[in-house]
Structure 1
Amino acid sequence: MILKTKITLALALMVSPVMSSFATTFTKEFERSDGIHKVKIDIYEESNADTKNSKITASEYVKDKKVWSLVDYVNKCPLDINMALIKDSFEIKKINGSFDAVLFSYTIGCVGGLDPVTVKYFAYENGMKHSLRGEERMVTPDGVIDDNVKPVPDANLKNNVLLFKYMTSNWNKASTVILE
């Protein structure tokens, strides 16, 4: 009976795909006249035998009312997923003087090595999304790997002069990776 159980368990392990997952959460709070605003960013990754999936969600709530939300995915990636919040990019800042802007940037891509991936830099100001999108710039001991492509702002960002200047001045910090 013990031998049969071991054989059944061994067959189940060989037939079942290997699954693993992990999640990372980042949070910030700030106070405005309408209450305490809570911002949460979650990055979730899972791997099975052949592919990987990753999802980022971000949202702002005040008094259990959703102000805005964002969801982005990389699905069925047979290689490696590069999805990470960029260090020090998650901030709450008054750019235009009246409303607090929530800013954050992250990398997203399915890559097979040290390839530059997409960088998305977002600002939410009073619930309105502003974005700057481009590609990662990699600095190696042998030089810089990039295609010198300028980031592309959306229409909301183009029309918000102060926020546009702030985000473009931070673009190099948000998009540069130094490899040693």
Structure 2
Amino acid sequence: MINKMSIFLIVLISVSVSASEEIIDKNWYNSSGAHSLVIMKDKLKGNTGEHLFVKKTTNGKQDWVLNDYVLSCDNDIELHVIDSSVEVRSLSSNEGDIIFFAYKAGCVGGIDPVPIKYFSYKDGVKYALRGEETIQTPNGNYGGEGGPIPGRSLKKNTILYKYMQDRWKDIALRKYEE
């Protein structure tokens, strides 16, 4: 008997990509070894969507992977890493490296605010802040009125939450000039 998980895995494995673009390849060293962060984007075969792949390794061993997809848009696909959001840093002297990155992911038609996912990984735990970008025009701002929403684990880490909340306004702002 085939269970639902098996069917899902078969479908997931059958999704293939037609082109691959490496967006970020960041490498650094610390007392625990050589680290690598790779972010890639693929167009799915038949132009049916796009796939974002993020992987972190230590000494060549995979620490974690994030996969995200934007599929079957009636209009245009927006799946872009926000370059200024990608960083590796420590927020205090007694903690290890924290990985930060954000990207826009959604279907758009025209000048629409796009959902933004801002993630951090600390000791293999994913922290998330999700919301909508704010578009700044000469006539005022729109989008992002509700502010970002933190995931459960981020709410519990007040220092990390404050840092990501403070960075959100810059990460989520798109300046549009007519």
Q: What TM-score comes out, normalization by structure 1 length?
A: 0.82
The equivalences for 1:36-55 within 5 A come to: 36-46=34-44, 48=46, 52-55=48-51
89-98 or 126-135: bigger deviation: 89-98
Equivalent in 83, 91, 102 of residue 105 of structure 1: 102
**Identity percentage over the alignment?**
34
| Residue ranges of structure 2 left out of the alignment (5+ in a row) | 1-17
* Contact 1:86–1:107 under 8 Å retained in 2: yes
Q: Does 1:131 align with 2:128?
A: yes
Task: State the match for 1:35 in structure 2.
Answer: 33
Structure 2 CA distance for partners of 1:85 and 1:147, relative to 1, 3 Å: closer
One-letter amino acid matched to 2:39 = I
* 1:84 aligned residue (80, 83, 103): 80
- Read off the aligned partner of 1:29 and give its amino acid letter: N
Structure 1 residue 27: Cα displacement = 1.3
Q: Are 2:137 and 1:140 equivalent residues in the alignment?
A: yes
User: How many equivalent pairs are there?
Assistant: 159
* Aligned AA (2:171): A
Runs of 4 or more consecutive aligned structure 1 residues displaced over 3 Å after TM superposition: none
> Highest Rg: 1 or 2?
1
Q: CA RMSD in A?
A: 1.6
Counterpart for residue 25 of structure 1:
23
Structure 1's unaligned 5+ residue stretches are 1-19
